[in-house]
Amino acid sequence: MSAEKIIGDWKKKHYKPLYWLEGEEDYYIDLVMSYAEHKILPESEAGFNLSVFYGKDANWSDVVNACMRYPMFAEKQVVLLKEAQQMKDIDKLEAYIENPLASTIFVVSYKEKTLDKRTKLYKTIKKDGEVFTSEKIRDYKMAEWVKDYVSQQEFEMTPKAIALLVEFVGNDLSRVTNELEKITVNLGKRKSITEDDIEKYVGISKEYNAFELQNALAVKDMAKAIKIIQYYESNPKVAPIQLVLPSIYNYFSKLYSIYGMADKSEPAIKSLFYNNPFAARDAMTALKLYGYEGVERALLLLHDYNLKSIGIGSINTSDGSLLKELVVKMMR
C-alpha cells in the first residue's frame, strides 16, 4: 500500500486500528504522519482524542494506556508514536497490537530501518493493521519524480532546471520539495520553473556548478572547466573539493558502467543520468572522446587526487590547483 492509498482511505473514513510506517525515505512517512496528526480528527475533537509520543522519551506502558482509552465525545481517537526506532522495549507493544482497540487509530513511524518480516511483531501487525515501507527513490527516477510532483502542484519545469535541482539536491525528497516550495512561493502568477529560478531561489549558479563542470569534462572543454574551477577558488564554500571530486567520480563511474551494457544507445543510457536527454547526449560524446582507457584512467586519477586532497602525496597545494591539475591530466 502506498502513502497516497493510506491517506485516500482516511479521507473516505476507512480506518484500520494500526499503521506501521517504516523505511529509509522520511518524506512519505512524514506525509502520512502529518495527515494523521492534523486531518483525521476535526479540531474540536483533537484536544481530547489526539495523543503524540516520541520514541526516545516514551514509555511503552504510557503508549499502551493511551491506546486503550476510549474516545471522548467522538467515534475515534488517534495515537501517534513518532521516531519509534529510538524507543526502548518496543517489543512490549506487541500485547496491545495482538488485540487493538477498534476505536483507536494507532500510527507508528519507524524510520531509517524496517522490521524483520520473520518476527512475531511484524506478523502480528500485518494481521489487523497495515505496514507501509517507504523506500528511497532511485537516482535515475528522480527527474521523473520531480516532473510529476511539479505537475501535481500545477506547475511545469524545464528539463535543464530539473537536472540542475536533482544534481544539487540528490534524492532527498523532503529537501527537494522544500526547495520547490521556496521557488513556487516566489513565482507569483507564473507557472513555469526555469534554471534562472533555481539559481535565484536555491542558490545554485547555472553556470558554475558540478553539473556544468561535468558537461565541460564530457566534451573536453578545457577553457570552460578551468573557468568553473576559478569560480570555485573565489567562492570556496560553494563547492569544496570534497564535494566536487565525488560528483566527478560518480559521473565517470556511470560512463564506465556503460561499457558493460548490451545496449549503449542514447535512449538506453538515459536512465543513468536522471533521464536527462542533454546529459545522455554529452555522455555519448564523452564515450567517443575518452574511450574505455580514457574513462578508466580518469577514475584512477580521481582516486589519486582524492588522496592528495587530504594531504597524502601532496602538501600545501590549494584545492583549486589540484582540480586544475586533475582536469588537465584527464583531458590530455
CA atoms within 13 A of residue 38's CA, in its CB half-sphere: 6
**What local confidence, expressed as pLDDT, does residue 238 receive?**
75
Q: What is the mean pLDDT of the chain?
A: 91
Q: pLDDT tens across 151-205, in order?
A: 999 999 998 888 888 877 888 899 999 999 999 999 988 999 998 999 888 877 7
* Contact assessment for residue 125 and residue 20, using Cβ atoms and an 8 Å cutoff: yes
Q: Can you give the pLDDT at residue 329?
A: 95
C-alpha distances in Å from residue 240, one per residue of 77, 207, 221, 308, 312 = 50, 16, 21, 14, 17
Q: Is the pLDDT of residue 274 over 80?
A: no
- Dihedral class, residue 73 (left if φ above 0, else alpha if ψ from -120 to 50, else beta): left
Residue 275 scores a pLDDT above 80: no
Asked if the 146-201 domain carries CATH number 1.10.8.60, the reply is: yes
pLDDT in tens, 192-249: 999 899 988 887 777 777 778 888 999 999 999 999 999 888 888 777 888 889 889 9
37, 173, 181 from 5: Cα distances, Å: 17, 19, 23
C-alpha–C-alpha distance, residues 101 and 96, integer Å: 8
Q: What pLDDT score was predicted for residue 237?
A: 77
Looking at residue 315, the DSSP 8-state letter turns out to be S
Give pLDDT, residue 217.
Answer: 94
Using a pLDDT cut of 90, give the percent of the chain over it: 66
Lowest-confidence range among 52-66, 94-108, 305-319? 305-319
d(C-alpha 111, C-alpha 107), whole Å: 13
What are the tens digits of pLDDT across the range 24-40? 999 999 999 999 999 99
Classify 210-331 by CATH class. mainly alpha
**CA atoms of 249 and 236, how far apart (whole Å):** 20
* Residue 273: predicted pLDDT: 81
Domains of the chain, by residue range, sit at 3-134, 146-201, 210-331
Percentage of residues of the chain with pLDDT beyond 70: 100
Kindly list the distances between the CA atom of residue 188 and the CA atoms of 152, 178, 184, 193, in Å, as whole numbers in the listed order: 17, 17, 8, 11
Does residue 279 have a pLDDT over 90? no
Q: Which three cell numbers stand for residue 303?
A: 582516486
pLDDT band at 111 (very low <50, low <70, confident <90, very high): very high
Give yes or no for residue 332 having a pLDDT over 90.
no
pLDDT at 182: 92
Q: What is the CATH number of domain 3-134?
A: 3.40.50.300
Q: Measured between alpha carbons, how far apart are the two ends of the chain, in Å?
A: 53
Q: What is the pTM of this model?
A: 0.71
Helical packing angle, 210-218 and 319-331, nearest 10°:
30
